[in-house]
Structure 1
């Protein structure tokens, strides 16, 4: 039987009326009461004895069931009621044999019989009142029997030995005030017991609860009726006994029949209740789990979306510093997926060909298991292109304080560094341009008389060969110095010139023809020019000069031979990428001159555009070639980058804005083609 939810009395009565066993028992009870009614009219003593013996038999049967199921019965209420029945049965039996006319014990007076009745009903009311309060507390059977025996013993001593119990019935007068007051008290106790039992109804099997509740409830009218009779053999006394029969019958149905027909329902009702409560709890738990799972999925989706939107990549390592998890964004920086890098360490990502920067501090923090923030180092990447990353991390520990590894983020700061480097280069070149331009003007002014006067002096030197040699040396040195100053002024770009935009394809072919005579056969030259390239903002002459400088630089970097590649293609720079390089958004042509020569270290690469900086021996170069290239490109509104790795070659990447269709001197980006201060 399931159900721990007894509701209204009407459904309970409906179930009883549909229960054949209950109806058959009720029919038997009615027949019994009819027989007893017949007996009562002929022999009241026999009627009274039968009623009391009926109650005694039921009480002892209930006790027998409770005693033999005391170890398995899960209901403290039913166990306590059952174990308390022997005392009630004994007092009812003594009341029956002490009834007037029986002449079995004592004086067989109405007073003693009534006192025993009061004792029995008082004990019964106390048991019913205490039982609902003990539904959650199990008492030991021995304790219940001991307390019961003490109460019965004290009652019998007060009636038969010490005679201190107040009179209950006085012949010729009737019931005493004590007896009437006690009956009212028992009736009130029965009502209170029913209220307490109702509050505990969910702890009972519905059938057992309904029958037990009705059996206890009948105690109230029963006791009220026993305040109305004046003759122990009168009809009111008989009516009270009929109600007693019905009350005990209901208790009989609640405990005995249920225990015999469905013993497990009675003995393990709490287990069933716990099972159903557990089932309800599991149902609620499943709902809670479903809700929490949905919330976790939503949170996971939210964090995954944030992870995918982030420019950083996230990682975890084990206690030995090996990567155990990496986000997909790592492939954009390293060129390898996260699965390929599992088992790698940060040391495996370091580019050993460049300065380590903050990597020693990173190694020290990992060794000490300390958190670290914003430490940068060069990243080994495919193709040898220069890339830098910035890492932050924090150690992980479990609940026992055991070190598990690190968790952190890595940012690709290559574009940021390139932008900062471009800004630094621009500022440096601007300062140097101003300085060098001013010096070049002053030196040019000083060189003019040297060249002019030495040329004039040669015409007046006569036949003095030695003097002619001196004057020729002075004149030639002045001319060479003026040529150098012209390059310096080209770098400084202090003069303004307007020329038509240059055609890149023509400039490439022209530069290759001019450089062919000085190019050794050990160097292979390749060109990859996109068809239909637009004209750029610098002139064809400037383009040729830029290309010649870069080709000569590549030739000098490949003394043992190699490959020189010139690549040109169209490019569209969006605002974000353009702003990082301090350019304007628009269309560009990307010119790349790459060699497979000796390459440069990071320190050299950062100074490669500085005026008068050269790695060539004294007398082999002025250090102005790449400076002039930088000045031409920047004054044309473009930008130049260099990527290089020792032993693997160098690539110069030039982005030049396309020229407008309107005319010379104006770019599509709103900048002058030439002019002082352009790009500075």
Structure 2
């Protein structure tokens, strides 16, 4: 407030002086501007080595040209009679030259706010501008007239004032755009000082009398403009030298703070994107059929995805520290595991290698493994990262398709062959019976004929099994009752079982009938019980279980059966088990591991044909020393339907049966 009061009082005194003596007022106004310009120059010159603001340095070092032109203008003013002929035109020309230089300085200063010019260069350019101005006005008289006595302001003078005002307005816009490069106090005062040049020059487009009130108003605005510049540069530099000395440091600190704020925002954005990406990849991992793993340099698992538990039967944490060798089922052929072990030893990538997987339940599983070695930035081997796919279902589907093709071809072949052989056996059996009735007392001939007759009967029994495997006739009987079939089969088989064999049954109550007939159910069970008995000559445990299940996609398509309700019949023994090669051929006709004369190799083939032609599926899970389990899924018969089944390998698997 005291400062404002002083300014108002000073302006009042100048107004009174102007009313009494205009020349004195004009001289005071111009000398004030000259003193301010020189003062700013002196400060800029003496602080040129330490001043950290290129903007303030440029403005301060450029003002002597304005001071000199304003001084010449004041002494050439009409009535001073110091230089010239006392004509108002000379003083006006010097005024316009000074304002052009001042506007150019104001316009260039924001553009050079970050550029530190050499002091000598600034002074040299300034000297050139002053020389050109003075030569144009005094020596060559090429400066256009600015004031014409009797007419007033010339068009050149008025146009120049508009140009100067435009330059001042542009300099203010540039200063506003670069306001963050200035101390707030310096910026506000400087902007006000620049902006006042606009109304100042607009007022000077209106007067006709150099000694009139409008001319005086323009000078009052000029005094205020230079006072603000003095406050911005001189007073600030003198009272707050550290603000200027550490100007760049403070601005750098603010820029750094802004940069840190932007960096924090960027980090927050990137963190959010990373979380989103992590969530997306976690969702993909959870819905993937594969499981992912990492090992250390010694091949031990250090990380496994949750999906591993579905294949191995053990949680990922339980497998940490295991190796691939610990997952190998040594009871089955290793398949590609030697190649996997060699790739791990040589630290090479490997893809799509298959080996049997050891699982706690002893069920048959296979996996497909791919992996890539990991290295750090220095090339040090860190271990492996890879994926494992459970291909058990795929292999079972492939085996089922191969079994279907094999059985279809063999069924067609042996079906036709059995009919032909049966046709040949009929006369052998019949004629041998007739011959036995007429042989008389010839004992040796009777012995021969008996041998022929018994061989024919045995051959006919074998052909009956063959026809059972490949029969094509249609039979109708009630749907099979599984509970009754299990009870009947166990009763029929008990007298021929080994003494140490223990049979237990677990059949759910109220099971629905199945599509195959009761006779076929009993035949299937008798065949499986007899095979289990042969596998346990020294006794063991045989478990027969049945319960309802639902088969859904994609399991139904993989097993080539219809989707819906099924009865699952399980026959499990604790016998010697089978190796993988035997397991894959167990349903082939005439394939047997029994000694010659102990079996025809048709029992399990007949079982397979009955089950598949009834619309069901049969799987076998076995390994040496771990026993054998047959899993049979039979479709539930529709209410009111008969147990009608269409047999023959040419049609099974194509939806035959109910």
CA–CA distance in structure 1, aligned partners of residues 427 and 291 of structure 2:
65
Aligned counterpart for 1:485 among listed residues 437, 455, 463: 463
Equivalent-residue separation in structure 1 for 2:167 and 2:606 (angstroms): 109
Q: Which residue in 2 is equivalent to 1:330?
A: 308
Q: Is the 8 A contact 2:479 2:516 kept in 1?
A: yes
Is the Cα–Cα contact under 8 Å of residues 503 and 535 in structure 1 kept in the other structure?
A: yes
Does structure 2 retain, via aligned residues, the 8 Å contact 1:167–1:176? no
Question: Counterpart in 2 of 1:252?
Answer: 230
TM-score of the two chains, using structure 2 as the length reference: 0.80
Q: Is the 8 A contact 2:172 2:191 kept in 1?
A: no
- Decide which of 159, 167, 177 is 1:202's aligned counterpart: 177
Whole-Å Cα distance in 2 between the matches of residues 542 and 167 of structure 1? 128
Are positions 1:122 and 2:97 aligned together? yes
* Counterparts of residues 94-109 of structure 1 (less than 5 Å): none
Any conservation in 1 of the 2:536–2:575 contact (CA below 8 Å)? yes
1:246–1:157 distance in 2 versus 1, CA, 3 Å: closer
Q: 1:229-248: per-residue Cα shift (whole Å, max 9, x none)?
A: 4xxx9999877755543442
**Residues 635-650 of structure 1: pairs in structure 2 closer than 5 A:** 635-650=613-628
Q: What secondary structure does 2:514 align onto? A: coil
Q: Which piece of structure 1 moves more, 583-592 or 316-325?
A: 316-325
For the pair 1:608 / 2:576, whether they are aligned, the reply is no
**Pairwise CA distance, 1:332:** 2.3
* Deviation (angstroms), 1:650: 1.1
Q: How far is the alpha carbon of 1:608 from its aligned partner? A: 0.5
Deviations 1:156-213 (A, max 9, x none): 99699xx73539999xx99899x97986676355223213213212324562244222
Query: Could you tell me whether the CA contact under 8 Å between 1:568 and 1:591 is conserved in 2?
Result: yes
Give the drift of 1:594: 1.1
The 2-side partners of 1:156 and 1:581 are apart by 103
Distance of 2:134 and 2:18 partners within structure 1: 35
* Partner SS, residue 628 of structure 1: helix
What's the counterpart of residue 197 of structure 2? 216
Distance 1:455 1:323 in 2: 74
Structure 1: gaps of 5 or more residues: 1-19, 667-671
Conserved 8 A contact 2:411-2:648: no
Deviation, 1:642, is 0.6
- Counterpart check, 1:379 vs 2:357: yes
Give how far 1:386 is off. Answer: 1.9
Whether the 8 Å CA contact 2:368–2:388 is kept in 1: the answer is: yes
Q: Is the 8 A contact 2:299 2:383 kept in 1?
A: yes
Q: TM-score of the superposition, structure 1-length normalised?
A: 0.78
Query: Which residue of structure 1 lines up, in the alignment, with residue 61 of structure 2?
Result: 83
Query: Which secondary structure does the structure 2 equivalent of 1:84 belong to?
Result: helix
The answer (yes or no) to whether the contact 1:588–1:658 under 8 Å persists in 2 is yes
Matched-pair contact (CA < 8 Å) for 1:81–1:128: no
2:5 matched to 1:24? yes
Q: Distance in 1 between matches of 2:76 and 2:514?
A: 133
SS at match of 2:511: coil
Determine the structure 2 residue equivalent to 1:57: 35
Please tell me whether residue 191 in structure 1 is matched to residue 150 in structure 2: no
CA shift, 1:612, in A, is 0.9
Change (3 A) 1:31 1:581: same
Provide the residue aligned with 2:497 in structure 1: 519
The CA deviation at 1:431 is 1.9
Per the alignment, residue 534 of structure 2 pairs with 556
Q: Does the C-alpha gap of structure 1 residues 308 and 388 become closer, same or farther in structure 2, counting only changes over 3 Å? A: same
| Residue aligning to 2:108 | 133
Say if 2:558 is the partner of 1:584. Answer: no
Query: Taking structure 1 as reference, are residues 256 and 590 closer, same or farther at Cα in structure 2, changes over 3 Å only?
Result: same
Contact 1:95 1:113 in 2 (8 A): no
CA RMSD of aligned residues (A): 4.7
Task: Report the more deviating stretch, 479-488 or 255-264.
Answer: 255-264
Native 8 Å contact 2:407 2:649 kept in 1: no
Following TM superposition, by how much is the alpha carbon of 1:422 offset from its aligned partner in structure 2, in angstroms?
A: 2.0
- The 1-side partners of 2:75 and 2:475 are apart by 142
Q: Is the 8 A contact 1:92 1:116 kept in 2?
A: no
- Larger mean CA deviation between 139-148 and 87-96 belongs to 87-96
Corresponding residue number in structure 2 for 1:434: 412
Alignment map for 1:181-330 (pairs within 5 Å): 187-200=161-174, 201-204=176-179, 205=184, 207-217=188-198, 220=201, 229=210, 242=220, 244-257=222-235, 304-315=282-293, 326-330=304-308
